[in-house]
Amino acid sequence: MAKTDIKNLPIKELESALKRLGMPAYNARQIFIWLYKNRVSDFEQMTNISRPSRRLLAEQFEIPALKIREKKVGRDHTAKYQFGLQDGSAIESVLIPMTRWHTLCVSTQAGCALGCKFCLTGIKGFKRNLSVSEITGQLAAVMAENPGTPLSHIVFMGMGEPFANYDNTLKAIDIMTSEYGYQYSHRRITVSTAGLVPQIKRFIQESKANLAVSLNALYDDTRTALMPINATYPLKQLTAALKDYHTKRRGWITFEYVMIRDMNDGIAHAIQLAKLLKEFPFKVNLIPFNEHWGTGYKRPDEEHVRAFQEYLVSHTIACTVRTTHGEEIEAACGQLGGIKIPGEEEK
Ligand code: SAH
Ligand code: SF4
């Protein structure tokens, strides 16, 4: 019988599994501390668990770890890590140094099925969902590579659509925030979605982590042309779900807005965005398009980006322009999946 990857289980599920094996539930807390705080890779090292229990655990479970296949470091010290998974898929995480902290950008899927026209991950298509262990394993591996680095923020903005892998994303956040796990505050974790409305509604009820929404356009025709998912959940439905977030959570959502030359970078779009934001006190993060080999879209001129930002700021909207990190190593937003795997064809 195949063994279960123990890192796929949030603490409640581990407690139930242990009970079924006749072990006390409190062992789950001890095991969590061994796995996530002491980072052991063998049940034999869990010395406060009885010997027979350790043997039983080793019969039932395994403790695999993600292996870094390639690391590239950019001029600004942004580091892109590529992991090779057991089935041959590859995923990437990006470690972004900020002034006072570091942010880790993690993947939730190998590829993405939503097929946004500007995104290299989407252009390359979908392989599969990541397991919980593969999501938290990115954090574990990057932490181990960078001891002493204040890796204080986690963003689910790597490859894939977190809400298309909803359960595993929430379980991974559970382990990241567990006091026996990585002990992150929910406020330091942000999940970004292209706008899967049913999951946004669930997330509002079920998670305390921050939400970012890739808005990218204010008109349905433009948005559907860029993001096919908009045909299923058009802007009206999306914004209605987000209003709910605001009333229930009183929190801030970040709208991400990828600016593409001659698509959505004109001032008319800024005016429309400001109108929408009258109803929501949301933040806007402008991301000038990062060019890549998968599409002919172009980055807008800097003046356009500045004019867009100034219009929003003059209408009292909190708006930042995301500085591009790691573009030369293809680690910037939307460039993940850029490393060509041998035998794989460019689409
Ligand atoms: N699937 C989720 C999480 C991935 S986040 C989502 O789409 O929100 C990836 C972010 O990078 C999204 O905000 C997306 O709009 C943006 N992005 C994708 N391709 C890009 C590119 N080529 N240049 C700049 N931003 C891009
Ligand atoms: Fe998927 Fe997000 Fe890329 Fe769209 S932008 S294809 S949802 S990863």
Pairing verdict, β 109-111 and 126-129: antiparallel
Residues 52 and 199 in one domain: no
Average pLDDT, integer, range 202-206: 93
Same domain, yes or no: 101 and 47:
no
3-state secondary structure of 80: strand
Quickly tell me which residue has 């795997």 as its tokens: 341
The three-class DSSP label of residue 105 is strand
**Shared domain check, 72 and 41:** no
> Which residue, 34, 62, 90, sits at the end of a domain?
62
Q: Is the pLDDT of residue 218 over 90?
A: yes
| Number of independent structural domains in the chain | 2
The predicted model scores a pTM of: 0.94
Identify whether residues 73 and 106 lie together within a single domain.
yes
Q: What domain range is 122 assigned to?
A: 68-346
In this structure, are 13 and 89 located in the same domain?
A: no
What are 295's two structure tokens?
């599409």
Do 115 and 258 share a domain, yes or no? yes
CATH number at residue 36: 1.10.150.530
Length of the chain in residues, anyone?
347
- Asked if 113 and 207 sit in the same domain, the reply is yes
pLDDT tens readout for residues 240-261: 999 878 777 767 889 999 999 9
Instruction: For residue 53, report the distance from its CA to the centre of ligand 1, in Å.
Output: 45
Please tell me whether residues 244 and 341 are part of one structural domain: yes
Q: What CATH number did the domain enclosing 107 receive?
A: 3.20.20.70
- Residues marked active site are found at 92, 333
Question: Residue 188: is its pLDDT beyond 60?
Answer: yes
Whether residues 114 and 149 fall in one domain: yes
Q: Which helix (H) or strand (E) holds 195?
A: none
**Which of 62, 86, 108 delimits the end of a domain?**
62
CB contact burial 267-292 (16+ within 10 A = b; e otherwise): eebbeebbebbeebebbbbbbbbbbb
For residue 47, the CA-to-ligand 2 centroid distance in Å is 44
The model's pLDDT over 69-110, given as tens digits with 9 standing for 90+, comes to 999 998 888 999 999 999 999 999 999 998 888 999 999 999
Ligand 2 pocket (Cβ < 6 Å) reads: 112, 114-116, 119, 121-122, 160-161, 194, 214
pLDDT tens for 13-30 read 999 999 999 999 999 999
- Domain termination site, one of 13, 29, 62: 62
205 and 72, same structural domain? yes
Distance (Å, rounded) from C-alpha 258 to C-alpha 346?
23
Pocket of ligand 1 (CB under 6 A): 118-119, 157, 161, 192-194, 214, 216, 256, 258, 287, 289-290, 292, 333-334
Which residues does residue 319 pair with via DSSP β-bridges, in sequence order?
A: 284
The secondary structure of 35-70 as a DSSP string is IIIS----GGG-TTS-HHHHHHHHHHEE----EEEE
Whether residues 92 and 224 fall in one domain: yes
Co-location of 191 and 153 in the same domain: yes
CA 247 to chain centre: 25
d(CA 309, CA 314): 9
